[in-house]
Amino acid sequence: MVATTRLSPMECALREARAAAERGEVPVGAVIVGADGAVLAAAGNRTEADRDPTAHAELQAIRAAAAGYGAPRLVDCDLYVTLEPCPMCAQAISFARLRRLYYGAADPKGGGVEHGPRIFSQPTCHHRPEIYGGIAEQEAAELLQAFFKARR
């Protein structure tokens, strides 16, 4: 009998990020988990493959989860992503009404949550998820650093 270990949502997101890197995409992975802890969607960046600047991992996961959930709002769901979401993705997280956001590495240059425009802090933001940063931060940051170092 082989013992199986269930991956944490962030480990699943990191797996998606590694797969994205293998496809030549910026290594960002995202996972959406329902209230019962079940993974509803998992995705990695697809901007290059889809030739779509909006094909970020978070948006891919939100689209898939909403389709599977049968609703445009993911009220009791949580998002795990390896990199602080950009402003576009932060706004989509708000529109999707995700309950919690867990992210790995901070993004001082392009982030939209705790850096840049800080979307959830704006008075015009309709929904603010609970935010938890720094989850598996070192591993997420190392994936990104290795990816960009190989490109230089």
Q: Active-site positions? A: 58
Helix, strand, or coil (residue 140): helix
Cβ atoms of 93 and 129 closer than 8 Å: yes
**Cα(94)–Cα(114) distance, integer angstroms:** 14
Tokens of 9: 């949502």
Q: Strands 29-33 and 78-83, how do they pair? A: antiparallel
Task: For the chain, report the end-to-end CA distance as a whole number of angstroms.
Answer: 46
Query: Helix, strand or coil for residue 105?
Result: strand
Closest CA to 65 of 39, 35, 99: 39
Q: Hey, CA dihedral for 104, 72, 75, 91, is it positive or negative?
A: positive
